[in-house]
Chain A
Amino acid sequence: MSGKGIRIEGLKKRYGEGNTAVYALKNVDMQVDAGEVVGLIGPSGSGKTTLLKCLGAVIDPTEGRMTLGNEVIFDNGWKVRDLRALRRDKIGFVFQAPYLIPFLDVTDNVALLPMLAGAPNEEARKRAKDLLAALDVQHRANAMPSQLSGGEQQRVAIARGLVNRPPIILADEPTAPLDSARAMAVIRILNNMAQEFETAIIVVTHDEKIIPTFKRIYHIRDGITHEEVGEGRNIE
């Protein structure tokens, strides 16, 4: 593994105590390198969302170890102190619905993250505009989210996830609301961005159209992950 990427070893998540204890994650082992896009698939109730929440540092795992780049962020009960800063600086999120802030224009939706990290407004906006240009939505930079198409909104959401150059992006069903062409466009963008920014991207999906595009896939069932080699179909 290079200096970036994420490694998860023996991750478990238990809800409840004693007789009522339920393990949502029983044994998760994953490794995603920088520049790689992997799929995470599994039926409903298999533990996908719980794993995503653990990776996103919004809930604490019960056991196991998570390493982000060279930094251990969780180790059997010990965790990084400032999870909020961790989420802001080291983890990018792309959701099923774009969840853009409706009262901010496209540029400020993207620029908000560097601003939260302390970047001056002008610098944050410049970074946002550069990224919007890279994602081919620079012409909507001053539009409000409600004025964008679904595909444009998702590209802005991807730009927001990438703007702080996080080592990992968690994408939760990013193509679910999109038609085939737009879904493939989003996957192409994620692949390009992963390469360009050396970001590890985990895509949680049920979308049969995009599953063949992954070179590696993690299946999760009953809280246990199994690694598979994907088709890695060309999406150009």
Chain B
Amino acid sequence: MINLASRDILHAWGKFVFTGIGLGLLIGVTLVMAGVYRGMVDDGKALLDNSRADLWVVQKDTLGPYAESSSVNDDIYRSIMLMPGIQQAVNVTYLTMQVRKEGKDVRAMVVGITPNTEPTYPGWPPYLVSGRQITRSHYEAVADVKTGFQLGDKITIRRNKYEVVGLTRRMVSSSGDPMIFIPLKDAQEAQFLKDNDAILQSRRRVEGNPVFNQPGIPNLLEATLAAQNTNSYVNAVLIRLAPDFSSEEVAENITRWKRLTVYTRIQMEAILVGKLIATSAKQIAMFLVILAVVSAAIVAFIIYTLTMDKIREIAVLKLIGTRNRTIASMILQQALALGFIGFIVGKISATFAAPAFPKYVLLTPQDSIAGFFIVMLICTLASIVAIRIAIKVDPAEAIGG
């Protein structure tokens, strides 16, 4: 038996191909949207993976350090180190800001790491693509290649200049901003650094306050002023567990004795995916639904138009004895062919367009397979109207009158 659908497609291939391309671009946008969501999740996971921590110790009752601000004393890690099950504990700060270079600026997450530890410690960039790790206590930086910085570049963070000594890759915040690693002390200073006028005003206020400026206690004023201009806080303490210790057990111990909040890897992932990007995910889901509805409407309209153009031929086919299911199958196959062409065009366009997006777009094979079946389902549903019309065509229409 002749395949009527393929013959019709070959006969009107231009119409099918151009419609398929149009539909494909829409499917491509849909795949990219799904890829943006996957990219956001992957950015969050990369942030956690690259920190190489088993536990995050943060300010009590906060969702820090990524979802909320968190401050803990920078010496708390010493007492944590003494607790059972702790292999490594290091301070870390995170600060999202504009990092400048020669008049241009890049949005980046500045990470303060402890330079007098080994690069194998949590918080450090796990690998470099060029250059070296930070070795000095001040004014060196390792930047993600996505910042566009090169080795030897001088970048400005607040009032200080840093030399880029190493480049890393895929080190991003949960919102996709590239990371720049600098020594912890510099990061602490950058986090709370006031401008000169503010410092002057603050000194005047303290000097004018008789509580702090007591002639009978000569060092009180100096100590108060010094305390105001130093930052002894970090955002979190990252912990690597010793072998054979469970993260829940150690986390409970720290929570109980240090009165801090501790998150395990699973909890931190839940915060990042479930809270930090939840709104964006819903937004993307809404777009995906709208795009699916628009795609279905386009396929339905095209198949409906193609079927209406063939009403007389369908009547003739029915008059000469063609089964309804043969005609329905022809329309369904055409809808599926349109979807197939659209999916191929969409997949190719999404693959080529994804790297051009400023945010990480992760196109997974699973999403492509699911997308293919969803497109086929949409095309099947979209062909129902045209099939109903074709089945209702009266063979008598082929005979005049």
Contact B1 A115 (CB under 8 A): yes
B316 in contact (CB, < 8 A)? yes
Contact B319 A93 (CB under 8 A): yes
B222 in contact (CB, < 8 A)? no
B395 in contact (CB, < 8 A)? yes
CA separation between A191 and B366, bound complex, in Å? 65
Given contacts A84-B321, A87-B321, whether A103 and B10 have CB atoms under 8 Å apart is: yes
Q: Within B299-350, which residues are at the interface with A (CB < 8 Å)?
A: 312-313, 316-323, 326
Q: Within B356-401, which residues are at the interface with A (CB < 8 Å)?
A: 394-396, 398-401
CB distance from B140 to the nearest CB of A (A): 71
Interface size class of B (residues with CB under 8 A): 20 to 34
Contact A99 B396 (CB under 8 A): no
Contact B399 A121 (CB under 8 A): no
Given contacts A58-B396, A116-B1, A121-B1, whether A49 and B323 have CB atoms under 8 Å apart is: no
CB distance from A203 to the nearest CB of B (A): 14
Q: Which of B2, B7, B8 contacts A115 (CB 8 A)?
A: B2
A63 in contact (CB, < 8 A)? no
Contact B399 A53 (CB under 8 A): yes
B11 in contact (CB, < 8 A)? yes
Contact A121 B2 (CB under 8 A): yes
Name the residue on A nearest B315 (C-beta): A99
State the majority secondary structure of interface residues on A.
Answer: helix
CA separation between A112 and B320, bound complex, in Å? 9
Interface contact tally, CB-CB below 8 A: 80
CB distance from A22 to the nearest CB of B (A): 15
CB distance from A121 to the nearest CB of B (A): 7
CB distance from A61 to the nearest CB of B (A): 13
Given contacts A104-B7, A108-B7, A121-B1, whether A99 and B322 have CB atoms under 8 Å apart is: no
A235 in contact (CB, < 8 A)? no
Contact B396 A59 (CB under 8 A): yes
* Residues of A that sit less than 8 Å from B by CB: 48-50, 52-53, 56, 58-59, 84-85, 87-89, 93, 95-96, 99, 101-104, 108, 111-113, 115-117, 121, 144, 160, 172-173
Top 10 A-B residue pairs of the complex, sorted by shortest distance between their CB atoms: A88-B321, A49-B401, A103-B11, A58-B396, A103-B8, A103-B7, A99-B316, A58-B395, A115-B1, A87-B321
Q: Can you give 30 A-B contacts (C-beta < 8 A)?
A: A49-B399, A50-B401, A53-B401, A56-B319, A56-B399, A58-B395, A58-B399, A59-B396, A84-B321, A87-B319, A87-B320, A87-B395, A93-B320, A93-B399, A95-B316, A95-B398, A95-B399, A99-B316, A101-B316, A102-B11, A103-B8, A108-B2, A108-B7, A112-B2, A116-B323, A116-B326, A121-B2, A144-B11, A172-B399, A173-B400
